[in-house]
Amino acid sequence: MDQDKNVSSFTRLDILIQYYLDRVTPYVVARWLTNLCLLIVFVVRIISIHGFYIIAYCLGIFLLNQFLLFLTPKQDPSFADDDDHAPSLPTRSNEEFRPFMRRLPEFKFWYITFKAFAISLILTFIPILNIPVMWPVLVIYFIVLFVLTMRQPKLIADQAPAAIKEGEMANYFGRKIAIDASMSIYQFLIAVRQNGENLTNDSGETTSHLMGMFYRTIRMIENGIKPVYVFDGKPPQLKSKELEKRLERRTEAEAEKTKAADAGDGEAFDKFARRTVKVTREHNDDCKRLLTLMGVPYVDAPTEAEAQCAALVKQGKVYGVGTEDMDALTFGADVLVRHLTFSETRKMPIREYSLTKALQGLGINFEEFTDLCILLGCDYCDSIKGIGQKRALDLIKQHRNIETILKNIDKKKYAVPDDWAYEQARQLFKVPEILPADATDLKWTEPDEDGLVSYMVKEKGFS
DNA sequence: CCTCTATCAGCAGACGTG
DNA sequence: CCACGTCC
DNA sequence: ACCTGCTGATAGAG
């Protein structure tokens, strides 16, 4: 990287130095022993002559600074920092593709400290630098620099062992992946439209969802991925409050939509039409039919599709969950794959999240992680106002569970909701209603081409 | 002043072609 | 590699 | 009888 810098100022001396540097590179232990010796000499000298304290201070600060840089992983610009709503995941690169790049590599760290020791030592021979300093001044100086230094690397705790892996579709050849069907259908219904309306066949039935599901599934199969779609069941009781809100929002949008239609405002109509989209029984049934014809299995979840997906992972029936929804981790799916679908068209890399590694990185266990997610806000209950990602994680790390947190926080500052149902929410995450392992039989078969053709072309008007 | 949080708006597919 | 139009 | 999120910008509180 800074080879470039060196190139620009090529002199004989530089070449010579570079030559020796290259030669000593392999001897890690010897190099650091050398530095240690220099340090000892320096300390002995400072102590024996009772002076040059300021140089010792500067050296100390400098070393601290460099050490932190050494500990800090290299910032990857493509990782803008992902998490917000859901699990606060440590953002770090991945293990196999890039091993943990340090911002300051070991060799550079050694070289720079070597120079620092040498220069400091030399400086102690220059009498004019033996400035008498008052101790308090040095202490203040130290604190200022320390604060500045600590702030620079974003958060030292950020260094999680690779919880996120990036890859391409090809890496998932032969893998079985569970997918939340309702979610996909929803996306198709919203995205696939023309002139504000969904695509339909001659008799006016919507076909957007079939379109999307057909192509997306084909693409996955082409890449050797074996998808299994999971359909939503009826939502749990706790979610009803949340659902009411959504219904309200939708009826509101409905009203706006008709208003826009009367006013002839096409754009507004389009906008509100998207908000009124709802996945119906018919959509689900259409897709199930399509999947059967394609030889792709599906599962009817008793309640939440995400929970069932996670269960399939835990039961070892699939490799991971393909979703954009971080709740899958809260349900205990160890592997979550994002951007699985559109990685090829847009060059969005597929990101694979590992629950165990994320937990390691955050320094908490699964129960604490569940509590953390509840604090951050889930569909099942309210969260505490004034506690967001940072404070929630701090609180969990400090108190380890919600009960203890509740005992310890200032209730005046942070209003805890009345009848806060966090315990039930926790139960839902911990023991969600799911199908037992033997109730799901996942078989991928050859597509029924004739059946497909007759269904798609004759019934739904595809060509 | 800076940091953290809450809130709101906007957006959401896949393909082939030029 | 993009913007754009079409899919039903 | 009922079904979803994320991102980014912005304002406000502490």
pLDDT at res. A432: 86
Q: What percent of chain A has pLDDT over 70?
A: 80
A71-116 pLDDT, tens digit per residue, is: 665 443 333 233 332 333 332 222 222 234 455 667 788 888 999 9
For chain A, the 3-state helix, strand and coil shares in percent, each to the nearest 5, are: 55, 10, 35
> CA of A290: how far to CAs of A248, A279, A342, A375, in Å?
32, 16, 21, 40
A344 C-beta less than 7 Å away from strand B: yes
Residue A5 belongs to some domain of the structure:
no
Q: Are A197 and A282 within one domain?
A: yes
- Protein-contacted positions of strand B (CB under 7 Å): 3-6, 11-15
Residue A75 belongs to some domain of the structure:
yes
Q: Are A442 and A454 within one domain?
A: yes
Q: Are A247 and A191 within one domain?
A: yes
HSE toward the beta carbon, residue A286, CA cutoff 13 A: 20
Strand A164-167 and strand A226-231: pairing? Answer: unpaired
DSSP 8-state assignment for residue A77: T
Distance measured from the CA of protein residue A387 to the C1' of nucleotide B10, in angstroms:
25
Compute the average pLDDT of residues A360-388. 83
Distance measured from the CA of protein residue A215 to the C1' of nucleotide C5, in angstroms:
18
A98 C-beta less than 7 Å away from strand B: no
Distance measured from the CA of protein residue A158 to the C1' of nucleotide B14, in angstroms:
37
Of residues A331 and A158, more confidently modeled: A331
Q: Order across the sheet with A298-300: list the strands.
A: A164-167, A350-354, A335-338, A320-322, A176-180, A226-231, A298-300
Residue nearest to nucleotide C5 (CA to C1'): A194
Distance measured from the CA of protein residue A149 to the C1' of nucleotide D14, in angstroms:
25
| 3-state secondary structure (DSSP) of residue A413 | coil
Q: Are A439 and A408 within one domain?
A: no
DSSP 8-state assignment for residue A139: H
CA–CA distance, A133 with A140 (Å, rounded to integer): 12
Q: Are A189 and A273 within one domain?
A: yes
Compute the average pLDDT of residues A40-51. 88
Compute the average pLDDT of residues A149-177. 64
HSE toward the beta carbon, residue A196, CA cutoff 13 A: 15
pLDDT at res. A11: 60
A305-337 pLDDT, tens digit per residue, is: 889 999 999 999 999 999 888 788 888 888 888
Contact (CB, 8 A) for A422 and A381: yes
A193 C-beta less than 7 Å away from strand B: yes
Residue A164 belongs to some domain of the structure:
yes
- Protein-contacted positions of strand D (CB under 7 Å): 1-8, 14
Residue A241 belongs to some domain of the structure:
yes
Of residues A414 and A284, more confidently modeled: A284
Q: Are A109 and A51 within one domain?
A: yes
Residue A89 belongs to some domain of the structure:
no
Q: Are A292 and A396 within one domain?
A: no
A447 C-beta less than 7 Å away from strand C: no
Which residues of A spanning 260-279 put their CB closer than 7 angstroms to strand B?
271, 274-275
Question: What's the gap between Cα A355 and its chain centre?
Answer: 10
A227-259 pLDDT, tens digit per residue, is: 999 998 888 877 776 677 667 767 767 776 777
- Protein-contacted positions of strand C (CB under 7 Å): 6-8
Compute the average pLDDT of residues A159-171. 68
Distance measured from the CA of protein residue A84 to the C1' of nucleotide D9, in angstroms:
14
Residue A27 belongs to some domain of the structure:
yes
CA–CA distance, A349 with A78 (Å, rounded to integer): 10
Distance measured from the CA of protein residue A326 to the C1' of nucleotide B17, in angstroms:
37
Q: Are A279 and A343 within one domain?
A: yes
Q: Are A213 and A332 within one domain?
A: yes
Nucleotide with the nearest C1' to A85 CA = D6
| 3-state secondary structure (DSSP) of residue A199 | coil
Please report which helix (H) or strand (E) contains residue A230, including its range. Answer: strand A226-231
Q: What is the CATH number of the domain that holds A378?
A: 1.10.150.20
Residue A168 belongs to some domain of the structure:
yes
Compute the average pLDDT of residues A407-430. 82
Q: What percent of chain A has pLDDT over 90?
A: 17
Domains: count for chain A: 3
Q: What is the CATH number of the domain that holds A181?
A: 3.40.50.1010
HSE toward the beta carbon, residue A92, CA cutoff 13 A: 28
pLDDT at res. A153: 39
Residue A92 belongs to some domain of the structure:
no
Domain limits for position A405: 363-430
Of A165, A321, A160, A152, which is closest to residue A229 (Cα–Cα)? A321
A97 C-beta less than 7 Å away from strand B: no
Q: Are A233 and A271 within one domain?
A: yes
Distance measured from the CA of protein residue A380 to the C1' of nucleotide D14, in angstroms:
29
Q: Are A231 and A347 within one domain?
A: yes
Distance measured from the CA of protein residue A246 to the C1' of nucleotide C1, in angstroms:
40
A50-59 pLDDT, tens digit per residue, is: 888 888 888 8
Distance measured from the CA of protein residue A381 to the C1' of nucleotide D12, in angstroms:
25
Distance measured from the CA of protein residue A272 to the C1' of nucleotide D9, in angstroms:
22
> CA of A137: how far to CAs of A47, A142, A149, A179, in Å?
20, 8, 18, 62
HSE toward the beta carbon, residue A15, CA cutoff 13 A: 3
Q: Return the structure tokens found at A412.
A: 């005046």
Nucleotide with the nearest C1' to A388 CA = B5
Residue A430 has pLDDT above 60, yes or no: yes
Of residues A66 and A438, more confidently modeled: A438
pTM higher than 0.75: no
- For residue A346, how many other CB atoms are within 10 A of its CB? 7
CA–CA distance, A456 with A453 (Å, rounded to integer): 5
Q: Are A32 and A108 within one domain?
A: yes
Of A221-225, A347-351, A453-457, where does mean pLDDT reach its minimum? A347-351
A201 C-beta less than 7 Å away from strand C: yes
A179-234 pLDDT, tens digit per residue, is: 999 889 988 988 888 877 888 888 888 999 999 999 999 988 988 899 999 998 88
